[in-house]
């Protein structure tokens, strides 16, 4: 009897020791990132069969349980991906919005100053000082356009670098997760015990990975397999593939993302394949904010410059010579996709008589059967061009000359860069003040400013696609960027709230609540003390038995 009681007491004491060690580990690890609370599960020992029935044989710790809910964790990872995408888009949009808020007013201010100097000169068209002021203000306006264009070009380079960095981080994390898969599998195979610390670390890596790119997880035989949104494996058992950043085949100025297989072949990934995460946020920001703004800025500068040229060339300068172009600007170009099977030669020019129709967009020209398919990228619209008698394609203020004997095969494509070269090559073409064509007729006196008046009136005309003036276009650009930043801010706030809510759910299951642990520790201490009393009683009974046998 006393022997069984002794064993029962010792089983309780041993169980209490293990339980207190588990609680102590929870408390000491409560500040460790990714730590999952552990629980000592207590079970009854098998009873002893007697003539009177089964007698209890105490208790033991059947296992140490790691508190974890895989469903909530998957939801949390998804929310981290959405938050990562929203966070990057929001943060970068805020910066570019501030830039536009400052620079837009500078450009518009200089645009107004330029037209003001035109108005001043029209009051005294022969005045050399006023003529020189027009040129100075024109040069300043060009410089303001160039400054903003340079800022956007630099931001695109920075965005490319961030995409590259994110891709490298994904590859590093995927490799670390694959290694942990290997180590966890080996540890479990060796002693059938789950290595909790390694499991925690693997989940930390998956959380970090989810912030960068959306992944779907599936546990099979102790391995966590991760796949991208398109189902492509990123981590399978103890193997992983690398995410790589590389220059786009259609436009080498843009860095895109793909996966590299064992043979070193890189396959481009679409935004849909990537799902969400910081990479997608960065790519969307670059495409929807930076590139869009750059195209609209260049469109405005282009139409402004050519409109000025058209009116200026109608007049005559102080030497009675016909007016020349007041500005020069960059021309459109067509670039072959580097993966084309064969390459054709296209030419493209602006139709200056329809310069106001030029869109703030790039285009793709793709070989489809015996025809060419043209798509405008800004609104994903297929273009049906007017075919001229020469066979040239006319659309959106452009004239494209296709190859007479195409070599391109089905699917070969070309990128039409419409306006992006306008500002980089934008220059004031007039050096001498005498070359300003102020008068409308060669026979007019030098004080005649009829042509200048027409130039001045351009600022009020809706030259940008027949809808906006130059100033309105610049204001619209700044407003558009600001609206995108504001919308991104709201979206980020919503995504952050969802992520915090899921984190709280996760913590309610897996997190360590110190108050609860203290209470549980006190309960186990009482349990320990009670078993110690049982042990003392068993010892007393044993002593009595020994004494009676003497």
User: Distance of CA 325 to CAs 162, 183, 320, 431, 437, Å?
Assistant: 41, 71, 15, 11, 10
Please give the DSSP secondary-structure letter assigned to residue 424.
T
3-state SS of 271-301?
HHHHCCCHHHHHHHHHHHHHHHHHHHHHHHH
- Six token digits for residue 533: 């009393």
Of 349, 388, 394, 353, nearest in space to 374 by CA? 394
Q: Phi and psi dihedrals of 222, rounded to 5?
A: 90, -15
Rounded CA-CA distance 355/331 in Å is 12
Number of H helices, E strands in the chain: 10, 22
- Six token digits for residue 339: 């993966």
Rounded CA-CA distance 441/475 in Å is 36
Please give the DSSP secondary-structure letter assigned to residue 316.
B
The whole model's pTM is what? 0.90
- Coil, strand, or helix at residue 31? coil
Q: Phi and psi dihedrals of 110, rounded to 5?
A: -70, -35
pLDDT digits (tens), the chain, 550 positions: 556 788 888 888 999 999 999 999 999 999 999 999 999 999 988 877 777 777 778 899 989 999 999 999 999 999 999 999 999 999 999 999 988 887 656 899 999 999 999 999 999 999 999 999 999 999 999 999 999 999 999 999 999 999 999 999 999 999 999 999 999 999 888 887 889 999 999 999 999 999 999 999 999 888 999 999 999 999 999 999 999 999 998 888 899 999 987 777 888 999 999 999 999 999 999 999 999 999 999 999 999 999 999 999 999 999 999 999 999 999 999 999 988 988 899 999 999 999 999 999 999 999 999 899 999 999 999 999 999 999 999 999 999 999 988 888 999 999 999 999 999 999 999 999 999 999 999 888 878 889 999 999 999 999 999 999 999 999 999 999 999 999 999 999 999 999 999 999 999 999 999 999 999 999 999 988 998 988 888 777 767 767 776 6
Check if the beta carbon of residue 330 is closer than 8 Å to that of residue 423.
yes
Rounded CA-CA distance 115/100 in Å is 22
Rounded CA-CA distance 36/13 in Å is 26
Angle at 143 between CA 138 and CA 145, to 5 degrees: 95
Q: Which residue in the block uniquely carries the two structure tokens 């207190």?
A: 20
Please give the DSSP secondary-structure letter assigned to residue 439.
B
State the DSSP H helix or E strand holding residue 401, giving kind and residue range, or none if neither: strand 398-401
For residue 37, the Cα-to-chain-centroid distance in whole angstroms is: 34
Of 278, 294, 286, nearest in space to 255 by CA? 286
Check if the beta carbon of residue 226 is closer than 8 Å to that of residue 210.
no
- Six token digits for residue 268: 């481009």
């Amino acid at each position: 009897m006393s022997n069984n009681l002794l064993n029962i007491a010792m089983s309780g004491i041993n169980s209490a020791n293990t339980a207190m060690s588990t609680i102590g580990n929870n408390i000491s690890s409560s500040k460790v990132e990714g730590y999952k609370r552990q629980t000592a599960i207590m079970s009854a020992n098998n009873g002893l069969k007697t003539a009177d029935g089964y007698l209890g044989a105490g208790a033991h710790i059947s296992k140490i349980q790691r508190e974890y809910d895989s469903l909530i964790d998957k939801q949390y990872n998804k929310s981290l991906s959405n938050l990562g995408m929203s966070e990057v888009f929001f943060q970068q949009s805020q910066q570019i919005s501030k830039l536009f808020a400052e620079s837009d007013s500078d450009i518009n201010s200089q645009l107004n100053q330029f037209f003001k100097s035109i108005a001043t000169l029209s009051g005294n068209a022969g005045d050399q000082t006023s003529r020189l002021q027009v040129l100075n203000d024109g040069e300043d306006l060009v410089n303001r356009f160039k400054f903003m264009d340079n800022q956007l070009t630099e931001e695109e380079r920075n965005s490319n670098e961030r995409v590259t960095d994110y891709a490298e981080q994904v590859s590093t994390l995927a490799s670390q997760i694959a290694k942990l898969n290997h180590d966890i599998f080996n540890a479990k195979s060796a002693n059938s015990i789950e290595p909790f610390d390694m499991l925690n670390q693997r989940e930390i890596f998956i959380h970090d990975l989810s912030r960068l790119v959306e992944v779907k997880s599936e546990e099979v035989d102790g391995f966590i397999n991760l796949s991208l949104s398109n189902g492509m494996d990123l981590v399978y058992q103890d193997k992983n593939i690398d995410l790589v950043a590389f220059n786009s085949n259609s436009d080498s100025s843009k860095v895109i993302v793909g996966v590299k297989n064992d043979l070193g072949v890189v396959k481009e990934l679409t935004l849909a394949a990537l799902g969400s995460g910081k990479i997608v946020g960065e790519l969307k920001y670059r495409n929807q904010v930076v590139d869009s703004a750059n195209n609209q800025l260049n469109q405005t500068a282009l139409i402004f410059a050519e409109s000025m040229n058209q009116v200026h060339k109608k007049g005559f300068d102080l030497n009675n010579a016909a007016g020349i172009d007041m500005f020069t600007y960059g021309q459109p170009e067509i670039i072959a996709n580097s993966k084309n099977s064969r390459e054709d030669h296209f030419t493209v020019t602006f139709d200056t008589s329809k310069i106001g129709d030029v869109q703030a967009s790039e285009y793709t020209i793709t070989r489809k059967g015996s025809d060419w398919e043209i798509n405008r990228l800004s609104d994903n619209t297929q273009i049906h061009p007017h075919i001229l008698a020469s066979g040239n394609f006319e659309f959106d203020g452009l004239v494209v000359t296709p190859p007479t004997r195409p070599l391109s095969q089905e699917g070969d494509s070309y990128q039409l860069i419409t306006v992006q070269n306008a500002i980089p090559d934008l220059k004031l073409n007039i050096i001498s003040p005498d070359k300003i064509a102020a008068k409308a007729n060669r026979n007019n006196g030098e004080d005649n400013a009829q042509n200048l008046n027409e130039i001045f009136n351009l600022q009020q005309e809706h030259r940008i696609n027949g809808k906006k003036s130059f100033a309105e276009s610049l204001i619209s650009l700044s407003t558009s960027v600001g609206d995108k930043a504001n919308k991104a801010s709201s979206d980020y706030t919503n995504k952050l709230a969802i992520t915090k809510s899921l984190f709280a759910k996760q913590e309610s299951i897996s997190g360590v609540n110190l108050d609860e642990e203290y209470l549980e520790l006190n309960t186990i201490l009482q349990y320990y003390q009670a078993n110690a009393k049982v042990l003392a009683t068993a010892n007393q009974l044993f002593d009595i038995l020994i004494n009676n046998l003497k």
